[in-house]
Chains A and B, each alone.
Chain A
Amino acid sequence: MPVIIVNQTFEPWSELQQQTQALSLRPGSYGASNIFLGTMRDFNEGDDVQAMTLEHYPGMTEKHLEAIIEEAKSQFDIDEALIIHRVGPIQPAETIVLTAVWSAHRKAAFDANRFLMEELKHRAPFWKQETLQNGSTRWVEKNTPG
């Protein structure tokens, strides 16, 4: 399953290793693996951030992430793609998102992984709510430019 929504802390490298084995990738059949990790910062827009909660629209999220992977596969010459995304409460330094692409050559892997992240940012129904140092909360209103 190339789309995974997780509601608890995950260690990206071991998760990547585990999920890679679950994909139908024949060792030796690909020459490029491109991995992107999005990690929670402890600052945003000039304020210290102590925690965050990620809300999502269950069902619509998976549907759109799967569609984004299908689009990437039709637009780029790639073998496989994976998206893992956190929801729920999250702490600074924890992984929010992992995207990975495998292809024969590096260009398709780089381009397709950028595509996955940009489309995810614009289409996947996730919302971030930050908790600041004083305990107050605020919704993140828009994405930062890529």
Chain B
Amino acid sequence: MSIQVRYFASLGDQLGRQEDQVQAEGPITVAEVWQQATDGLPMPPNILMAVNQEYAETDQTINDGDEVAFFPPVTGG
């Protein structure tokens, strides 16, 4: 299955890209998507994540075609 991965703000700058495409054979969690997309980079402690634009935790399971996003704490308003 194919998973679209997106990075925002300072995290995108740190990684040097705004998106990745992850291919997986079976069930995969958000944490595993991060591992695969970043080649095992440790996840920054304050990072937030979303699956299909809803906030998620690292252990959430991803389905084919899902969009997973990682980003730093939000600072709007």
Contact = CB atoms under 8 A, between A and B. Distances in A.
B74 A139 contact: no
Given A57-B53, A59-B53, A60-B69, A125 B8 contact: yes
A127 B77 contact: no
Given A55-B8, A141-B72, A121 B77 contact: yes
B75 A142 contact: yes
Contacts of B8: 55, 57, 125, 127
A54 B75 CA distance: 9
A122 interface: yes
A127 B75 CA distance: 5
A124 interface: yes
A101 to B, nearest CB: 15
B75 A143 contact: yes
Q: Is the interface of A mostly helix, strand, loop or mixed?
A: mixed
A128 interface: yes
A119 to B, nearest CB: 10
A114 interface: no
Nearest to A142: B73
Interface residues of A, number: 27
B53 A60 contact: yes
A123 B74 CA distance: 7
B15 interface: no
Contacts of A56: 76
A50 interface: no
A125 B54 CA distance: 11
A56 B8 CA distance: 8
A47 to B, nearest CB: 16
Interface string A48-62: 000000111101100
16 contacts: A38-B77, A60-B50, A60-B69, A85-B76, A96-B76, A97-B77, A120-B77, A121-B77, A125-B71, A127-B71, A127-B74, A127-B75, A129-B9, A139-B13, A139-B75, A141-B10
Interface of B: 6, 8-10, 13, 50, 53-55, 69, 71-77
